[in-house]
Copies of this chain bind each other. A is one copy, B any other.
């Protein structure tokens, strides 16, 4: 039987593995680690890189536990109890505007109802991975979705279509009518329903976590030496502004973390080193920037995308 210790241990190893691979892909930057403790139980290891190709990136592990704060039980619709929330969370902002921003998260949550040892614990896995190019390379987007579909299909034919749409709906800036990027997959509350065992859900989450580093290393290598100038940097600044808007206005994880007294610096590691805002900016018709904007929409079938 899969224990929470095994899951937590795995997430730590995943963080280690991803950090090693990203340092290799960057070639210069090294992760700086801040280990932190939560007074009520648990803690984490926040790791930040400022490298040659990764301008600012965070690869965080945390596993917090203890009596579940009332805000959390109310938000999740759960009865009071002892909870554990563990996971790995990543955002990377590249230096070169031709390299995409990426985000990945895998997490596990469980709660044991207070004073009812006879009741089983409630548990679920969640997570997601999504790609935010400053300039959309449709070949990248197709490859990204095909790889994610492979990961999903190995566990259930149902996963990719559901989780792809979930990502389209989740990574969406409603006030801009734009998706954050080309999407990916998003899932939550994957529990023992629909005939899945805990082991099966965990196996899927592991595959998602392990797909991240090779995929991003590929995009990094492909684009990191591409030429760019003031124009591309200006556009990168504006797209980073949109990334900030999404994370601070709409991202439930960020709001939840800030609202429940999470570690601010670990949560906001997702913000770019710099972001720009320009009033009512519209890219020139027919430009690569306008082309990217036109593709920041829900419902694009990237797996079968043709120019």
Contact = CB atoms under 8 A, between A and B. Distances in A.
Contacts of A268: 245, 277
Nearest to A269: B279
A193 to B, nearest CB: 32
A244 interface: yes
A241 interface: yes
Contact of A279 (B58, B176, B274, B277): B58
A143 interface: no
A248 B258 CA distance: 12
Nearest to A50: B279
Nearest to A245: B248
Given A175-B258, A176-B264, A258-B174, A241 B271 contact: yes
Interface in A266-302: 267-269, 271-280
B274 A276 contact: yes
A279 to B, nearest CB: 5
A28 interface: no
A276 B275 CA distance: 7
B269 A273 contact: no
A249 interface: yes
A268 B174 CA distance: 14
Interface of A: 34, 48, 56, 58, 174-176, 237, 241, 244-245, 248-249, 255, 258, 264-265, 267-269, 271-280
Given A248-B248, A248-B249, A275 B275 contact: yes
Nearest to A280: B265
Nearest to A272: B277
Contacts of A264: 175-176
Contacts of A271: 241, 277
Given A48-B279, A280-B34, A249 B255 contact: yes
A265 B279 contact: yes
Nearest to A57: B279
Contacts of A48: 279-280
A34 to B, nearest CB: 7
A243 to B, nearest CB: 11
Contacts of A176: 264
Contacts of A249: 248-249, 255, 258
A259 to B, nearest CB: 8
A248 B241 CA distance: 12
